[in-house]
A = this chain, B = another copy of it.
């Protein structure tokens, strides 16, 4: 029976903070790596992350904090990565310690831009981590609601389900329910694709489309997600499970989603560059769009929404016209 005693979370953002909070409810010690040593000092003194999810009370006595990624990898048996995918590679480039035997869970919803791979594939292909040691944490989950201790459901996926179960026992609690899945590829692609669809929802909103259209868009998006994932990794899955449809909905309908916000600005006429500058945040969906479009060029699933978003973000096409064309392809 797999046992996991030492877990470390990598990343200093809101999702990393939320995962640390969940783990601290059940564990006596949680490892937490982040680049910024000032933030570490702040957490130690003030019991909260100053930059993200600052309302979440943390318990510094339970935290083993470090800004040394190698120290943290050495410490933990199970590594949970929650670094934005755009920064993952540069962080991993610092790693000098072998990852042999480490269980790696990705809580990152995106593509590694440098390799065009989803995170699980990146760890497998580039860092030789076997798939049975790779997992995914996903689910319809705003970190902000974890901070508020509002009931949330997470899906833990791993080819070796025992490892998923093992981690789930450390995560489930008063306000967190967990579900196990063996579809690491599908859940991770879903988590990435939903960001593109959230961008599309934002663009639609920015262009003045209403709730009726949004419902049609999301109903088409889940079918598009199903077709896309089926081409990438064919297996029996219910696309309406929380890890796929739920995750799409929580992002697509959220007014706080940075992907939706980014899309909204594009719809309102901002250029990609100015929208990014204005937000001073990374919209995962921006990178995801490029990768998904490329992947699908080979796979040839019918993906009118991804195609439209790609044309707008990467080919300088006018959002208004692309969406007019898109409305004829939806039903």
With a cutoff of 8 Å between Cβ atoms, the chain B residues found around residue A241 in the complex are: 219, 223, 331
Q: What are 27 pairs between A and B in contact, CB < 8 Å?
A: A140-B211, A140-B216, A140-B219, A142-B210, A145-B210, A145-B212, A148-B210, A150-B209, A151-B210, A151-B212, A151-B327, A152-B210, A153-B212, A153-B216, A179-B331, A211-B253, A211-B254, A212-B250, A216-B246, A218-B249, A219-B241, A219-B242, A219-B244, A219-B249, A220-B242, A239-B240, A241-B331
| A238 CB–B CB distance under 8 Å | yes
* Residue contact A152 to B212, C-beta cutoff 8 Å: yes
Complex: A209 Cα to B223 Cα, angstroms: 28
* Residue contact B213 to A238, C-beta cutoff 8 Å: no
* Residue contact A140 to B249, C-beta cutoff 8 Å: no
With a cutoff of 8 Å between Cβ atoms, the chain B residues found around residue A214 in the complex are: 249-250
Give, as a whole number of angstroms, the nearest-CB distance from A92 to chain B.
Answer: 29
With a cutoff of 8 Å between Cβ atoms, the chain B residues found around residue A140 in the complex are: 211-212, 215-216, 219
* Residue contact A153 to B331, C-beta cutoff 8 Å: yes
With a cutoff of 8 Å between Cβ atoms, the chain B residues found around residue A246 in the complex are: 215-216, 218-219
Complex: A249 Cα to B252 Cα, angstroms: 11
With a cutoff of 8 Å between Cβ atoms, the chain B residues found around residue A142 in the complex are: 210-212
Q: Give A292-331 interface residues, CB cut-off 8 Å to B.
A: 327-328, 330-331
Chain A 111-151 per-residue mask, 1 if CB under 8 angstroms from chain B, else 0: 00000000000000000000000000001111001101011
With a cutoff of 8 Å between Cβ atoms, the chain B residues found around residue A215 in the complex are: 140, 242, 246-247, 249-250, 253
Chain A 213-249 per-residue mask, 1 if CB under 8 angstroms from chain B, else 0: 1111011101100100000000000111110111101
* Residue contact A327 to B177, C-beta cutoff 8 Å: yes
Complex: A246 Cα to B218 Cα, angstroms: 7
With a cutoff of 8 Å between Cβ atoms, the chain B residues found around residue A139 in the complex are: 212
Complex: A330 Cα to B139 Cα, angstroms: 13
| A98 CB–B CB distance under 8 Å | no
Complex: A153 Cα to B241 Cα, angstroms: 25
Complex: A142 Cα to B254 Cα, angstroms: 19
User: Contact partner of A219 among B141, B177, B240, B327, CB < 8 A?
Assistant: B240
Complex: A214 Cα to B250 Cα, angstroms: 8
With a cutoff of 8 Å between Cβ atoms, the chain B residues found around residue A179 in the complex are: 331
Complex: A151 Cα to B218 Cα, angstroms: 15
Known contacts A216-B140, A223-B240, A242-B219; is A211 also within 8 Å of B331 by CB? no
Complex: A208 Cα to B142 Cα, angstroms: 15
Known contacts A249-B218, A249-B219; is A145 also within 8 Å of B242 by CB? no
Highest count of chain B CB atoms <10 Å: which of A214, A247, A331: A331
